[in-house]
Structure 1
């Protein structure tokens, strides 16, 4: 009887030891697995973006949230204009280019890829004191090409119209001219290098007219956005297509060039539905479904 009891006691002890070892191994495996997962999900380093000045509000909002969610990553933004941003991706001096126009055939043929992250209305702006409230696309084209030179011809007070535009290579200029059919024919009193500069110029000149991104115009004092063909420039009218003067906000990458882990994560975030509210709050219209 004593032998039976001793045998059972020995078996019990062995089983307990085995169970303990299994438990420790599992804990070790689980811990290692958790560490591996943390290593994989914790991003670090930098993401460089370069391009459109019109995308400043959108890219700023997206970058701020992404850096909050990923404190080990720094997202930089160089506001150089769409043309320079596209070229920077082409020559490999930035991770993601920013263009406020669709890519051209020669750019896609060179291996560049454009991904639309949002839509933006190009608001036609005049001084806040102007009596003009609405213009057609054709009238806008005639004004910027010099066929109409006085505000009295379109319902305003007499005064020589002063057209304010953007520099060559600007996505806003490219979008405006392609939609209004005024490529290479605009007669400008001032040709400026940023959206903010255009807004300030129109604020300071009662006879000025210019164009600027909807996201930059909202909430600005000293200017007003005209309706175009009776349609106001708003998020809703841009999304439904009823506002005619609009363009895409595009993230530009290079086919065959792999983004860093942090740059890919930022790109995925910016083009996801998780970014929609941020894009809306920045004054543009998100397209992610």
Structure 2
């Protein structure tokens, strides 16, 4: 609470200083040059600089000074703002100890209106060791420069060329601090105070994060104890395993085991466990994940939408194919296209590698890409040659997991398959195929231009106790770190869709 308060108070004070204090009237000056004109390398081109004179007499130890007078505040300075007697035309006095003013000119005006203030220059005191400058109206950011030539005073005690800096005096009424003229600095970057403020705020943020992480690890939100067996989708397995590890790190009294054999197998396992037990108590520690909705005949299983899950078509890298129309994919699976050269690829026979029946990925492919048409059965074990006795046609085989399918596609010339996006995207030995010119991306699926997606559901038998590990883990997947893990794999929590209705059971 203290750090959070400081994070609000400090920027407030800084803003108050910047606009309420520093933003007031402020008169400033810079000594941009103060150098000798004699103690230099005598080049052939020194010209007049080597023979500076006054009234025909050469100067003893001439120096050149360039002063910049500026409005360094956020509001304008008027003639009557100068802290000087009303009858005095001088607003600023510049004294040069041990030196005498020989001559001076105005070398730069930020705006032409300033010229009028110097037209009666001769009425001001110019001589001795002092220059008097007029009461100049300086709008915001306005400035002028004065170039003065000086010589060593007859009464000077300082060594040649080693004089004190000019003494600039003056001020304005109601200005910053005591209203005196401030020596400013020329910077191209932000002021040091800004760096200091940023550093302080960064330290506060880091401290808050450290305290939050420590407190979060000490008493994590929504922790539950017990053991949970997770079954179902092999496509969702990498995400659920990573989320379970993260949950167990935060909640040491929770443990997980996995039996991922496909969406259909997982739902059957959960349903059968409930049937044999005749109640819900024995299934409290069992959770099933499915790519898509459960089949009919399992009324006791309760779905919870977890993620908007993307799938992709993959082909062997040697096919030369990167984009397929959905109609072409359907013709391939009907056996009407048998060689990649027929649709612009290389001269390779097409070999289809599918998931086993009961797979949620296979069901999503049939529903979303094949238009509800079921895939024909397998006719090959090795995915390269038809089994003896099978009729002619495209080679078709099936694998029991996502990783097994991807490995088979990568190793089989001319192979085509389908997979969960995250597992396929990390491989460099496959080609991910666009469908109808659309890559597998959430935005395209969310808006109906990419067809191959499905809702990932978490199933329990009946409603689990709100304090149970199953209920807590399901909440963790959708509301906490689990949601970040889902996003990191290229998918989205259902609540983040532009059209969340897509995730709801039909």
Bin of the TM-score, shorter chain as denominator length:
0.7 to 0.9
Structure possessing the higher relative contact order (Cα contacts under 8 Å, 6 or more residues apart):
1
Q: Contact 1:164–1:198 at 8 Å: present in 2 too?
A: yes
Please state if 1:136 is matched with 2:325.
yes
Give 1:208's match in structure 2, choosing from 415, 419, 434.
415
CA contact (8 A) 1:46 1:75 kept: yes
Q: 2:232 aligns with which of 31, 51, 54?
A: 51
State the distance in 2 between where 1:64 and 1:142 align. Answer: 43
User: Taking structure 2 as the reference length, what is the TM-score of the superposition?
Assistant: 0.46
Distance 1:218 1:165 in 2: 18
1:66 Cα deviation from its structure 2 partner: 0.9
* 1:104 matches 2:295: yes
Instruction: Report if aligned partners of 2:290, 2:360 keep a CA contact under 8 Å in 1.
Output: yes
* CA–CA distance in structure 2, aligned partners of residues 46 and 116 of structure 1: 22
Q: CA deviation at 1:255?
A: 2.2
Q: How big is each residue's C-alpha offset from its partner over 1:189-244, in whole Å with a ceiling of 9 and x where there is no partner? A: 21110111111111112200000110111120110111000000123333443211
| Aligned position for 1:237 | 444
2:488 is matched with 281
Deviations 1:57-98 (A, max 9, x none): 210121111111101101222111111111122123661111
Structure-1 separation of matches of 2:448 and 2:261 = 28
Which of the numbers 189, 193, 197 marks the counterpart of 2:404? 197
The 1:91/1:70 distance shift into structure 2, 3 A limit, reads same
- Distance in 2 (CA, whole Å) between partners of 1:228 and 1:41 is 41
5+ residue gaps, structure 1, are 1-37
Distance in 1 of aligned mates of 2:322 and 2:223: 52
Checking the alignment, whether the CA contact within 8 Å between 2:318 and 2:414 is kept in structure 1 is no
- How far apart are 1:44 and its partner, in Å? 2.4
Q: Contact conserved, 2:224 with 2:467, CA < 8 A, in 1?
A: no
Q: Is the 8 A contact 2:332 2:338 kept in 1?
A: yes
1:95 is matched with: 286
CA distance in 2, matches of 1:140, 1:203: 19
Q: What's the CA shift for 1:257?
A: 5.6
What is the aligned-residue RMSD (CA, Å)? Answer: 2.2
SS for the counterpart of 1:113 is strand
Count of equivalent residues: 249
Distance, in Å, in 2 between the alignment partners of 1:121 and 1:68 is 28
The answer for unaligned runs of 5 or more in structure 2 is: 1-218, 274-282, 379-394, 497-506
Tell me the SS of whatever aligns to 1:269. helix
Structure 1 residues 154, 85: CA separation in 2 closer, same or farther (over 3 Å shift)? Answer: same
Bigger Cα displacement from structure 2, 65-74 vs 111-120: 111-120
1:65 alignment counterpart: 246
Given candidates 444, 459, 462, the residue that maps to 1:252 is 459
Length-normalised TM-score, structure 1: 0.79
More helix by share: 1
Bigger CA drift: 47-56 or 84-93?
84-93
Whole-Å Cα distance in 1 between the matches of residues 313 and 327 of structure 2? 13
Equivalent position SS for 2:376: coil
Counterpart CA distance in 1 for 2:223 and 2:360 is 35
Q: Do the aligned partners of 1:235 and 1:284 also contact (CA within 8 Å) in 2? A: yes
Q: Point out the structure with max Rg over C-alpha.
A: 2
SS in 1 for 2:470: helix
